[in-house]
Chains A and B, each alone.
Chain A
Amino acid sequence: MPSWQDFQPFIVSGLALGGVYALSGVGMVVLYQATGVVYLAFGAVGAMGALIAWSLINAGVPGWVGWLACVAFAGVVTLGYGMVFGPALAKRDPLIKAVATLGLTLVLFGLMDLLWTTSGGESRAITLPTDNSGFMIGQVQVNWTQVLGLGVGVAITVGIGAFLRYTKLGTAMRAMAGDREITATLGVPVRRVEAAAWLGCGVLAGVAGLLLADLVALDATTLTFLVISSLAAALIARLRSITLTFVAAIVVGVVHDLLTPVQSLTNYRDMTPFVLAAVALLVLSRRRVMTSSREEM
């Protein structure tokens, strides 16, 4: 078993990844609350945005323009999808809504495979200015991108929490989470509120795509399916609480990375999101059954 000192660097890397998972998870929860859609294309949209940014930067465009293009692409595609398919799917089962976004995922995935081929062994990377500097905590090297990953996760969670609580648009989103029909009859412009949620989720997908392209890899498959960890966090929070989503995402990131130096478990660490989500769902369903039983008595 590794010593405490051996574990320390993995806590740092786990916190950074957890922060970005949180950012993604929170975006998905907010969209789910406002529209009832679990956005499975979150990773693919961010991945394609990051690849577009890479192409632009490689073509000589300033880095910040590429980053903005990534965020703008993710925002526009997500908003476009929401506006075109959202109304038609509004009254369908949540599973059908989720599977529909899987369609978008596959379309984007195919496009990425076509446009950014890997048949010649091509490898690509996005680097942020924050990669090149950092500081030490004890014996552990921390770079500013890791700080950025965690910091953006915290800031987005706090910011969205405040937005939902204190703004008119946020209040409308929360109302729609309760009952879309009643909210509409009260005069809330449902389509406009949904559009804001789609756009916000898309922007977060772009930011997450950019950060994960740096922290993990600029690879279409990797980034597309990295959404699983964020989804697991959102599921642990039962797609309701952004605070719980944040905490779950951090736990997923840290536990995953802490298992790395443990020889007997290291090859199983990718199961972390599934195991944690499964345990959480079992515990939650058991608690609900016990509560129901007490009510019946």
Chain B
Amino acid sequence: MIEIKHLCKNFGRKKVLKNINCELSEGIYGLLGPNGSGKTTLLRCLTNLYPLTSGEIWINGISSKRGSKLRIGYLPQFFGLYKELTVKDSMRLFCNLKKVKGSDEKEIIEECLEAVNMSQYQDVSGRKLSGGMIRRVGIAQALIHEPKLVLFDEPTAGLDPEERMHFKKVISQLGKKETVLISTHIVEDIEASCDRVIVMNHGEICCVLSCKELVGIAEGKVYACKKGDEQQIPGKYFIEKQYEEDGEIYYRILTNEACEVLTPVSPVLEDGYMCVIKEI
């Protein structure tokens, strides 16, 4: 159980996180928000990398101020390896950093590499790995000390579709026992793997909802209309995307104002997210 109470984080005069309050139990949570909304800062506060300006974070009843003693697995947005070390040696280094017992090390490394489908690359040096492979080692190192809270910042960036599927399997297993928080821009990843979604904007949590509830927010607000017809919409609207159908250009529009030129469309998770962000 993760409890975040009145969390604020300032960088100089800039308020990046503003009075965050949230409770997370076991399961997989998606963290969605536009660039600069404070997602990475929140993750870094949870890992104790950033000192809090005010507020508290409790992880399984232990204050985050005792950070090093907590079992937190973290995959940062940008992850690299020592280029001269093999995958196995890099994992040994991570084991050492996270104080994994020497006697368990070999077994745990094998398990974690197996989980991310990297066992066959154990003896390959970091220099020879592709970006996606490095990302997979990053996921493996986050799991190496059997963490109680796992934080993934853009975990599937650079992974091919097959590896993304594999990653979803790994975290669905993990989410049965632990709390997993995934920050990503890829809404399909959230839809496919997360039990609940946290939407952040301007350093605040806008809502914590299930995927179904988030889709429900956009119910009756998603429309399609031909390019040019949007000018006839009487109230506030937001053009989500543009697409071509039968040689004509259409817009996918979010609005509260139904009118003749608009054709209702079934909402998806992205529509719900955009409704929250754009306050529609």
A, B: real partners: no
